[in-house]
Each structure stands twice: as C-alpha cells, then as structure tokens.
Amino acid sequence: MTEFSLLSPIQGQKGVQGIIVANSEGIPIKSTLDNSSTVQYAGLIHQLVMKARSTIRDIDPQNDLTFMRVRSKKNEIMIAPDKDFFLIVIQNPSD
Amino acid sequence: MEIVHVYSKLRSEFGRQCLFSDRPAELLLDLPPDPSLTLSFIQKNHRDQAVQACWETSEHQLNTERFETGSCGINHMEGGWPKDINPAEMEQTIRFRKKVEKDESYINSVLQLGSVMEHCIRQNNAVDIYQECFEDEEEVEEIQEPPSAKTVNVFRDPNEIKRTVTSLSWQPDGGRKLAVAYSSLEFQKSSKDMSLDSYIWDIENPNRPEMMLKPASPLVCLDYNPKDSHTLVGGSYNGQIVFWDIRKGNQPVEFSSLEHSHRDPVYKIIWLQSKTGTDAFSASTDGQVLWWDVRKLAEPTERLVLDPSREGNLDQALGAISLEFEPTMPTKFMVGTEQGLVISCNRKAKTPAEKIVCTYDSHHGPIYALQRNPFFPKNFLTVGDWTARIWSEDIKESSIMWTKYQMSYLTDACWSPVRPSVFFTVKMDGVLDVWDILFKQSDPTLSLKVCDKSLYSLSVQDNGCLVACGSQLGEATLLEICSGLSTLQKNEKSLLAAMFERESKREKILEARQREVRLKERSRSEQSREEEVGREEGEEDPKHLIARAESDFYSLVEAEVKRREKKDEVMKEKDICEEKDVKDEEQRGTSE
C-alpha cells in the first residue's frame, strides 16, 4: 500500500505510538490507531492547529506555522501542518 | 450695576425674519476705573501659584462582581465530512478516503511532512530535549525578601444566613480538599432557617462546595481520618458524634446516641492512632472526654471526667475547649479548659484518678488552642485570652515564652508542620499573625488583615505553605505563605532547641528562687506567729481587724494633714520674708 510506504520511515522509528494523517477539515485520512482515538485526535488537534496558526499569523502576517510539539507527561504529540493536510505523530520518548 | 439695553418690538412683528443691517459701533457705557476705591484694598503678598489647564482626575479601584465559572470537558464527535457522504456508512467513508489517497497533492504533502517529522522524531530519540540539566546544583542563597502571604481563594458560605466557621480540616495525603464545619456558637442565635450543613471544598473551585455533609445538628468540629481520606468524624452542637464516609453519600453513616453523648457542644474531636484506625476521642464543655470506636457509636468506649480534684465528680469538672494529641506519644494527651487550665493526662493509667497527671495554670480565659510542637514534642503552644504562650512539659508554674498582650483576643493557633519555629495565630479583629520566634520574639513576623470580622479557626496544610482560616461570616480564606516562612532553614532545629533549653533553664532557676523565698517567708512567719501568740491570745476576729484598720487609716490621714499645714506655714513665712526683702530693696532704692 502506497500510504504505508510513505509513512514507514516514521513508523519504524523508536517510540512512535501512532500516526494520523488528516485533511484540512479534520477528517482522518490514514491512521494507525483505532477509530475512536483517531477521530478524537484528528478533531481536537485540528482545532489546536487552526488556533496556533491564526495566532502566529495575527502577530506577524508574513509568518506561518511550520511545526508544533505538544509535550505531555506521558508522551509527545508532534504536528506538522500543511496547506491541505496535517500529519500527527504520537511518540513516547523513551529516555 | 447692570448694563441694560431696552428695545421695543411690535407684537405683529414677532416671528418675522430678521433683517440685519450694518451699523457703526455705538458706545453704550464707559466705566472708567475709580482710583478712590484703591484705598479700601491692600496689596497681597506675591505668591507662586501653578496653573494648569487640564481636567481633574482621581484614582479609583474597582472590583467586578464575582464571575462564577465552571469547567467542563467537551468530547469531539465525528464531523467535517462533506455533505454527500454519510459518516455512518462505512463504504462511503472508505471510498472517500481512497479517493483522497490517490490524489497527487496528498502524496506530495505527506512525503514532505514526513521528512520534517522524521527529523524531529530522530531528535527526540537522540536527546531528551526537555531534561533537567542543572537539577543537583546547590540552591543559590535566597535573597532575603520580606515575608509575605497572598490570598489564593475565598470559600464563602452559600447560605443566606451566615454561620461561623468553627473548624477546618485538611484532607490527608496531599490535601486537595478542605472540610469546613459551620455552626453558630453564639448563645441562642441560631434560627430555624439556619442551614445545618457543613461542606467539603475542593481548593481549586471556590464557587461551589464539592460535597455537603448533612448532620442532624450543626457541626462544631470536624476531622479527617489521617489513615483513610474518605472518612471523617465530626462533633455537633447538641453533643453527638457523627461519622461520615464520603463514598457513601452525604448523610452520616452513623451517629452516637443522645443519651451517651456529651451534654454540651463538642468542641474538639481527634482521631487516634490505633491498630484498627477507627478510634477517636472528643472533648466538650460538659467536663468529659469521651473515647469512641466509630464502628459502634452507640456508646463511648471510655470516659474521663476532668475533675482537678481527681474524684470524677461531674459537678466540679472543668469544661474542655481544646484537645491535643500527638501520634508520636499515643498514651499522653492534653486538654485545654474553659477555666484556663491545661490538664495533661495519661490514657494508660489504671485508675481514673491517675489519669490526670498534672495541670498547668495558663490563661485568664478559655484555652482556645493547644498544640505540641511537631519537632519538639516536649514543648507546646497554648492560646487564650490575649496572649500565646509556649510551655515546656517539665515546668508547671509558668510558660517559658509568651507574647505580649495583644490588642484583641486570640482565637486559634497552630504550629507550622515544616518549620519548628513558626506558628500562626488568628485574632478577633480579623488578623492572621505569623510568628517566627527565631527571627523576632516580641512581634509577629507577618501580620495580615484577612477579614473585617473576627477569625475563629485556623488550619495549616501538611506542606506548610497553605493556610486556611475561617471567619465569623462563614468565609474560609485560603492563603499561601511565602517560601521563606515555609521552608526549613539551616540549623533551625538546633537553634530552636537551644532557645527552648535556655528559656526552660531560666524558668527553672526562677522557680527554684521562688521556692527559696517562699520557704524563708514561711519560716519567718512561723517565728513571728510564735511571738504573737506569746503576746495575744487567740486569733483576731474581723471586728478587731476592722477597728485596727480604721485607726491606722485615721492616724495616717492626721499625719498627712499636719504635714501639709506645716508646709503651708513654711511657705507663708517664706513669702513674708520675700516681701520684706523686696520692701527693703525698694526702700534702699528710693533712699539712694
């Protein structure tokens, strides 16, 4: 499957717990997690990315959001936004 | 004088348009200055006066009305699908997804995002970018900032009729919850509409109590079980002991029977250390200290009557207002009474008479708080009347250290659980004082006005940082003390131990001296009494004493009157002499 080959270098990394690709409306296109978590992640993170992007843009209109890391007690959520899609990776840094 | 110009206009011309015409200026009045008026004025001194053309402003502070917030979570449901696709239908969604996956732009963007992401993931795996690098470094010497405390939250009694906060208890293990007992201790002030509830508050949410406790009669004191943070025991206004388990709801699980409970409000109840963890004991102004097993509250397991003559006589008993129990000394406990006496008792004594070990005559009024220093259990703090006193167990005559008489009555006090030299007191004028006896003994280190009405109770959380105090209007205020007063300083324990030692030694020396003086007096009075017996027979009865007192008094008065008369005469003579001198001088003057 082409999608998995696209994402396999990421999936092969140490500590990666899940990968989600969602479109600009928050609909999860591809995911390695179960449906309910995917929907939750995609929806909530979509809102977060929109908010962060508008914040950066409000401060400086020439600027734009390139990457977001949300570090929590248990793991780290990394979000790479794009024009039409965004990629979410949940990693548990083992060290 | 008025400058008036009169002109007349026909009535029919009213309302007609104005027809203006040019006209040269006409002098109506010329008023020249009158120099003769200057005589009635004088010129004032020159004075500098600042003039600024701007509007006056003043500073005001406003506080908006309390805004009630509540927090709730939201759950994201599926959504965002285009209109023609029904999210419930698996086929349609799969088809949509497959379509997107085949899209060029999708593949490109995923590849690009993937490489960025990979870089970050590798970074994460290589180095923990959030690790604490300088954890073990020595703490920099703190800048001596002035002690301060700030109010974190205020928990108000939601009922209309405000009741006093009579007792506070922190939840053990972390203390995220605070149990507050509300009741009205003023005689016959409680009305039918007054609510009987007491509340458990979550310190993060001051808007609404987390849980309500509904006893049959208002609670005067409350205590969380230090072993089990779900159970509480409370003492109520009618003398009953009530036991709650929060998991089972807000009605009490059990309460003691009226016949065997106290006859007066229960002023203090404390959990005991026992194998079963279900023992508590309570004290009340009816003069009894009762022990209870919360599994069977129908009857107390043990009873002690606070009779200082050790006879167990309830009529002579002293009312108890505070209790003290330290888990490290499970057999001893102390009771503070309404009469100002602290009674130290031993639980394990064989007979009731031996239970009362000794008494300390401490204050002029009820002892509202009594607590041993958690680091030096031999020393304890008592608060009553207008002072706070620190005692050493061995010295029974007087306290080893005390504060000066304050402006208002002290109502509660407690030691800080982290710093042995810090204790907190609350007063009837609404002030919370923080005393640090290593820093200053004569005055509190920090004095905060918490409330306009009096503060009634106080409790410090186990971390020593948060202090809750309760007021007469039903407000429980939560304050955070600055870190300087809530972190252990170096050498604090040894310095404080030295201080207590020194003060106890001083008291011991004073006591010894007193004893000597008394002994001497006694021996002297015995001698003189022997002589007197030789002179007179029998004791003097009151009449003789009165007669003697009267005669002494009159003789004193007469002596004083005579003295004054003599003084007057001397003064008069002096005057005469002076007059004569003056006259002589005059004569001499005139003659020369």
Report the complex ipTM. Answer: 0.77
Distance of CA A17 to the CA centre of its chain: 12
Interface of A with B (CB under 8 A): 2-3, 6-7, 9-10, 13-16, 21, 23, 25-27, 29-30, 39-40, 43-44, 46, 66-67, 69, 71, 76, 78, 80, 82-87, 89, 91, 93-95
Q: What is the CA radius of gyration of chain A?
A: 14
Give the pLDDT confidence score for residue B538 in this predicted structure: 46
C-alpha closest to that of B320 among B309, B307, B310, B332? B307
Element containing residue B515 per DSSP (H, E): helix B492-535
**DSSP character for B248?**
G
Rounded to a whole number, what is the distance in Å from the CA of A62 to chain B's nearest CA? Answer: 21
| Residue B181 near residue B222 (C-beta atoms within 8 A) | yes
Question: For tokens 């409970």, what's the residue?
Answer: B261
Rounded to a whole number, what is the distance in Å from the CA of A15 to chain B's nearest CA? Answer: 8
| Residue B339 near residue B330 (C-beta atoms within 8 A) | no
Which amino acid, residue A80? A
d(CA B1, CA B449): 63
Give the pLDDT confidence score for residue B537 in this predicted structure: 47
Give all domains of chain A, ordered by start, each with its CATH number.
4-89 (3.30.450.30)
| Residue B346 near residue B331 (C-beta atoms within 8 A) | yes
C-alpha closest to that of B423 among B393, B450, B449, B458? B458
| Residue B479 near residue B450 (C-beta atoms within 8 A) | yes
Give the pLDDT confidence score for residue B52 in this predicted structure: 82
Pairing of strands B341-346, B288-293: unpaired
Chain A residues touching B113 at Cβ < 8 A? 80, 82, 85-87
Which amino acid, residue B418? V
Name the token pair of B160: 């209309």
Element containing residue B153 per DSSP (H, E): strand B149-155
C-alpha closest to that of B114 among A92, A42, A89, A26? A89
| Residue B362 near residue B342 (C-beta atoms within 8 A) | yes
SS3 sequence of B62-99:
CCCCCCCCCCCCCCCCCCCCCCCCCCCCHHHHHHHHHH
d(CA B522, CA B308): 26
Name the token pair of B40: 């009635």
Cα separation values, B549 from B240, B532, B543, B556, Å: 56, 18, 10, 11
The residues with which B455 forms a beta bridge, in sequence order, are B471
d(CA A26, CA A18): 17
The residues with which B280 forms a beta bridge, in sequence order, are B271, B292
Give the pLDDT confidence score for residue A94 in this predicted structure: 64
For an interface test with A, give the residue of B81, B110, B131 to mutate (most A CBs within 10 A): B110
Q: How many CB atoms lie within 10 A of CB B582?
A: 10
Give the pLDDT confidence score for residue A52 in this predicted structure: 92
Name the token pair of B541: 């009865």
Give the pLDDT confidence score for residue B143 in this predicted structure: 61
Chain B residues touching A40 at Cβ < 8 A? 75-76
Q: Which parts of B241-333 fold into alpha helices (H)? A: none
Residue ranges in chain A whose pLDDT is less than 70: 1-4, 94-95
| CATH topology classification for B149-490 | Methylamine Dehydrogenase; Chain H (2.130.10)
Give the pLDDT confidence score for residue B105 in this predicted structure: 82
Q: How many CB atoms lie within 10 A of CB B140?
A: 6
Nearest to A43 among B76, B97, B106 (CB): B76
Residue ranges in chain B whose pLDDT is less than 70: 1, 76-80, 85, 87, 129, 135-144, 189-190, 310-312, 352-354, 531-541, 577-592
